[in-house]
Structure 1
Amino acid sequence: MADVPFGFSSGEDPDRDNRGSNDPESGAGSNPFGAFGIGGDFGMAELGQIFTKLGEMFGGVGSAMASGKASGPVNYDLARQVASNSIGFVAPIPEKTTSAISDAVHLAETWLDGATAIPAGTTRAVGWTPSDWVDNTLQVWKRLCDPMAQQISSVWVASLPEEAKDMAGPLLTMMSQMGGIAFGSQLGQALARLSREVLTSTDIGLPLGPKGVAAILPEAVESFAKGLEQPRSEILTFLAAREAAHHRLFSHVPWLASQLLGAVEAYAMGMKIDMSGIEELARDFNPATLADPTAMEQLLSQGVFEPKATPAQTQALERLETLLALIEGWVQTVVTEALGDRIPGTAALTETLRRRRASGGPAEQTFATLVGLELRPRKLREAGVLWERLTLAAGMDARDGVWQHPDLLPGADDLDDPAGFIDRVIGGDTSGIDDVIAQLEQEVEEDGDRPDDPGSSDN
């Protein structure tokens, strides 16, 4: 069964009874206190920690209500706290490791200069711990998660009968706050898991970190390198080259980040809810539930919020998948060209990462749990082939010039028929790049001449 977004529940978990309390995949279900940094075996003295954390959570709800300030659909302060507690203590990254990362990124940038016309986009290179990753990416996660969480919380209240709303009264605010707490807790746990799996700041294809900061997570890289035959230094340089190549696009293609994040937002906002489950629940709704945190937690996890695919979601998903495939394919092409003769294991590492993305690795599964969206560039291989053939047919400059405007990029159909797209780029079709740019320049000139035209005021 595919993952569903946080706040949803499939109602099925065939492995739940077989999971032990120490199973890292079991999450909060096997140890309800795991989010507070408390293990499955704890003594009475540690109960104080639980009540202290709960007091902080619900104290924050009370303060927000008293001030009249809403915390939003997700309690991100709680998400950060839960993620930090779940990650636990992480030793600082040694200076030697940080220096090695900086050297690898600098070397990769030098080699990439000969493989792409797009200039370097990194301003500095750093090593991140899992906690660093959470702190530096949470701002983008807010933009990704808010649309889905907002729709979940608003549709719940909107579906209640009027008499139930009247009975609930001010407690509806409490319900909203409780929803933010529930979502924040789940988000924090998911981010903690994801922070130990991602290799770089751009590993899932989205610009999650600060612009221009090439970030590599040494702990995850070490886990990734286990079982591979390549030297650690080559693996680090390969990942540094991928990170640097991503930053070249995100830094010098100004519309790219907004297009990616906009597609995710469009997918979330296009979601529709199956109201039958909500209507059934509302018939037996008891307003007293809103004052009981335990009951609220159960209420939010009953699986009544079942998402339904809509045409708007399908369109947004296709746009996102195509764009992710084009980014990954371009990165793969330029990195292979830059490192192919210098690092013998480039092809093997490229294939390992391609399979990791295509099969929906742990990082993609966690993202699907967060926002109900799988980040699988399903046509990654086709995109790689298109960029390779375009490079051979038109050259590096023409290939990279395609990123000048989103209308110049290949579409989903072009990935299946790269020859037709390549013909257009090299001038075999009037819709090639040169013609599009010439048309844009002509329109700009016409706009500039229009005020001097005596007849322009009639238009």
Structure 2
Amino acid sequence: MSHSPDPDRPDLPPEFVEMLRSLLGPDADRVLEEMTSGDLGLTGPDGTPVDLQQLVAAAGLPKDPAALGQVLHQIKRMLATSGDGPVNWDLAHDLARQAAVAEGDPVVTDAQRRAVTSAFSVAELWLDTATRLPPGGGPVRAWSRSEWVESTSGTWRNLTEPVAGSVADALADLLASQAPDVLGAGPGDLAGAGQMMRQLGGAVFGMQVGQAAGTLSHDVFGSTDIGLPLLEGPGTALVPRNVTAFAAGLDVPEDEVRIFLALREGAHGRLFTHVGWLRAHLLGAVQAYARGIAIDMDSLEEALGSVDPTDPTALQEALSGGVFALGTTPDQQAALARLETALALVEGWVDEVTAAAAAPHLPHTTALREMMRRRRAAGGPAEATFATLVGLELRPRRSRDAARLWALIADERGPDARDEVWEHPDLMPTAEDLDDPTGYARRRAEAVDEHADLDRALAEILAEDGEGPGDGEAAPGGPTSP
């Protein structure tokens, strides 16, 4: 659609005038005046002022009015406000839905829903024999890819906003620091530009989140493939189309594959529902790590300086490639270690419990288990999504170590003892235990003895101060008097 020239700014493309006024508000007329009068302070190599045509050419904007209007419309859409958050969630949602339906996204049929419901009914019965944790409860869902995107969007927000906020702040700070040198003006002369940069950062992250979630919807089987609970409450789910596609590449009946995947989803559901501290522990570690991400300002400036500002894809690639200086603080390293260990323990426990539940019933249990392990170890779409959204590289090799540890505990002390470890975070195995599973029992016994010694010492101190246990009252860890 063409626009007639703006009578107040006849020398400027009307689309450009419209975009600036919508973005800068009251400051637009002043900026436009400076652009047309040459007062922006921009000069070429010979010291002469840079006119508008030079500026447009340098920015790579097309000269054709229709093409220029299309570019400016795209930029305006990207920068359209969707709240004050660091991620443009409207854009993320649109892109995720587009990616989810890119190859078609048929509605889940009644037959597929019945197959999923039946698979979970069988899976829960078998899991009852493999773990003391009861079923997670909640609804059983059969999702299309679009429904997966819609149902998991809340958790993506929790995972991505901390790092997106850090990058948005860095972009705004970079603009403020460069304004005097580049534009020959004080920060106050660019009122509204900082907000534009934040909007641009929000749009870039919206693109990343949307593309990552939409792409992941083609590969996931349910709600727990990335090791984190993507559902806010209890419940289980499968994506029938993805299950069918996965089974098509295996020499295993689809019904058997479906039940095996339902076992994994159900095991996750039991763990996340009945281990009350686990969800907060995992998401808290992700957020703590993301909040501490440091931005390499030199790399950021170099990346942005070489990018075509009219190419959103190029800007997105620049911001996602080498801009973050990861793991630079002790707090980040501690959060990363907690997260890696916890995710490995979750995956290893699910792997072990699923195999124990499936082995008596599914003839291809060993092959399916190994296939899932290789899928995790190969750094599949889940790990790539984590790296894109949070800047976090996982080490899935630890899940195999964790499975060995859980199997060892069950062999030595029984399945109930294995599951009791989840009762409190202080009981959880450490990275050292994953390195040396055979030494876990000894280290745990030493830790218990150490706590008992501390309890006895504390009781003695309190008794000397007259604050010890009274008549008929037991000391910490001691028996109750008759």
In 2, the alpha carbon distance for the partners of 1:319 and 1:102 equals 35
Query: Which among 325, 339, 346 is matched to residue 308 of structure 1?
Result: 325
Query: Which among 91, 99, 108 is matched to residue 78 of structure 1?
Result: 91
Q: Verify the 8 A CA contact 1:424 1:433 in the aligned structure 2.
A: no
Tell me which residue corresponds to 2:297: 275
Matched, 1:166 2:188: yes
Tell me which residue corresponds to 2:121: 106
Q: Verify the 8 A CA contact 1:340 1:346 in the aligned structure 2.
A: yes
Tell me which residue corresponds to 1:182: 204
Structure 1 residues 252, 56: CA separation in 2 closer, same or farther (over 3 Å shift)? farther
Q: Cα deviations across residues 171-211 of structure 1 (Å, max 9, x unaligned)? A: 22122112212221222122111100111110111101242
The alignment partner of 2:448 has SS state of coil
- Superposed CA RMSD in Å reads 3.4
Q: Verify the 8 A CA contact 2:139 2:234 in the aligned structure 1.
A: yes
Tell me which residue corresponds to 1:13: none
Matched, 1:208 2:221: no
In 2, the alpha carbon distance for the partners of 1:251 and 1:137 equals 17
User: Which stretch has the larger CA shift, 127-136 or 173-182?
Assistant: 173-182
Q: Verify the 8 A CA contact 2:344 2:399 in the aligned structure 1.
A: yes
Structure 1 residue ranges without an equivalent (≥5): 1-46, 65-69, 454-459
Q: TM-score, normalised by structure 1?
A: 0.75
In 1, the alpha carbon distance for the partners of 2:78 and 2:293 equals 30
User: Which stretch has the larger CA shift, 266-275 or 338-347?
Assistant: 266-275
Structure 1 residues 308, 342: CA separation in 2 closer, same or farther (over 3 Å shift)? same
Tell me which residue corresponds to 2:285: 263
- Report the CA distance between 1:101 and its aligned residue: 0.7
Partner AA of 2:297 in structure 1: M
Tell me which residue corresponds to 1:231: 253
Query: Which among 373, 382, 404 is matched to residue 392 of structure 2?
Result: 373
Structure 1 residues 280, 51: CA separation in 2 closer, same or farther (over 3 Å shift)? closer
Tell me which residue corresponds to 1:405: 424
In 1, the alpha carbon distance for the partners of 2:78 and 2:411 equals 61
In 2, the alpha carbon distance for the partners of 1:112 and 1:432 equals 34
Matched, 1:431 2:453: no
Structure 1 residues 297, 336: CA separation in 2 closer, same or farther (over 3 Å shift)? closer
Q: Cα deviations across residues 384-434 of structure 1 (Å, max 9, x unaligned)? A: 111111011111221111101111000000112222222355xx4352799
Tell me which residue corresponds to 2:56: none
Tell me which residue corresponds to 1:355: 374
Q: Cα deviations across residues 309-354 of structure 1 (Å, max 9, x unaligned)? A: 3133332222111111111111111111111111111111111111
Structure 1 residues 154, 228: CA separation in 2 closer, same or farther (over 3 Å shift)? same
Tell me which residue corresponds to 1:388: 407
Structure 1 residues 433, 230: CA separation in 2 closer, same or farther (over 3 Å shift)? farther
The alignment partner of 1:393 has SS state of helix
Partner AA of 1:345 in structure 2: H
Larger Rg: 2
Tell me which residue corresponds to 1:126: 141
The alignment partner of 1:121 has SS state of coil
Structure 1 residues 380, 247: CA separation in 2 closer, same or farther (over 3 Å shift)? same
Tell me which residue corresponds to 1:42: none
Structure 1 residues 294, 238: CA separation in 2 closer, same or farther (over 3 Å shift)? same
Structure 2 residue ranges without an equivalent (≥5): 1-66, 181-185, 471-482
Q: Cα deviations across residues 51-102 of structure 1 (Å, max 9, x unaligned)? A: 99949936843xx6xxxxx431101111111111232352111111111111
Structure 1 residues 306, 134: CA separation in 2 closer, same or farther (over 3 Å shift)? same
Q: Cα deviations across residues 241-286 of structure 1 (Å, max 9, x unaligned)? A: 000000101000111011111111122112112222345689x89x
The alignment partner of 2:446 has SS state of coil
Q: Verify the 8 A CA contact 2:263 2:354 in the aligned structure 1.
A: yes
Q: Cα deviations across residues 40-59 of structure 1 (Å, max 9, x unaligned)? A: xxxxxxx9xx8999499368
Q: Percent identity?
A: 42
Query: Which among 74, 77, 80 is matched to residue 57 of structure 1?
Result: 77
**Following superposition of structure 1 onto structure 2, how do residues 215-254 of structure 1 map, counting pairs within 5 Å?**
215-254=237-276
Aligned residues: 383
In 1, the alpha carbon distance for the partners of 2:118 and 2:451 equals 39
In 2, the alpha carbon distance for the partners of 1:379 and 1:296 equals 37
